[in-house]
Amino acid sequence: MKIDLSQKIILVTGASRGIGKSIALLLGKSGAKLALNYNRNEEAALAVQKEIGKRAVLFKGNLSNAMEVTSMFASVIEHFGRLDVLVNNAGIALSAPTNQNDVEWVESWLTTMDVNLNAVGLLCKKSIEIFKTQASGGRIINIASRAAFRGETEEYLAYAASKGAVVALTKSIAKSFGKYGIKSFVVAPGFVLTDMAKPFIEAYGKEKTLDATALDEATLPEHLAPLVAFIASGNMDHATGTTIDINGGSYLH
């Protein structure tokens, strides 16, 4: 089935690399008009924009700062006039073992929550405000993690907690706003081979990361993009509130 997103305006956070980049490129190929959020790596973001073409517009914003989140979203709406799909992809995983001093541990915890949960919640809120004014409603796609269900190692307590909260948030949105035509979904990857994953590979080794799936290959960012495009198209609307696992069979629940 060919996905036609030519009538969709889609905001993708963390679109300059990794999973976000793959999602943005496929959505662009499917015809969507794209608002691409990035934080620091403008060169990489420009490269993604160039590959997609004139349908993609860049919006800089540090998602750990609520004011920047709000400003970035306002700029998206000012430019495009509406929004059809929000893809909350951006996330961080800060290592913070429990033997770390309290000040540093709390700082890592709060920063993780700011990016992985608070920004996600705020962008969902702002999108819902827009979606409720549109006859077509809208769709929210939140990228979580298998960590939300199986937990994580002690260095990544905050990461797992933030992703678990995203799952609950997504279900609550589906339950509360379906009558407005608003649908929400979770995509929960396992270990995905990205630049962000390199510290994990170094810390835990290939056997516990790349080889931990039931398949004979590691999950790549481009393995997630087709599902996101399919959800964005509306073909999965009656699955609103669900979580779709893409972890190569590494965690089954």
Q: Does residue 251 carry a catalytic annotation?
A: no
141 DSSP β-pair partners = 87, 185
The pair of three-digit structure tokens given for residue 50, joined into one six-digit string: 């160039």
- For residue 54, CA distances in Å to 31, 32, 206, 247 come to 11, 11, 40, 33
Q: Helical H runs in the chain?
A: 18-29, 42-52, 66-80, 102-113, 119-131, 147-150, 157-177, 198-208, 225-233
| Residue among 165, 167, 162, 164 nearest 185 (CA) | 167
The DSSP code for 223 is G
Q: What is the dihedral of CA 112, 45, 61, 128, to 10 degrees?
A: -90
Cα distance between residue 241 and residue 239, in whole Å: 6
Q: Which of 38, 159, 204, 251 is catalytic?
A: 159
DSSP string spanning 105-158? HHHHHHHHHIIIIIHHHHHHHHHHHHHTTSTT-EEEEEE--THHHH---GGGHH
Contact 220, 161 (CB under 8 A): no
Active-site residue set? 159
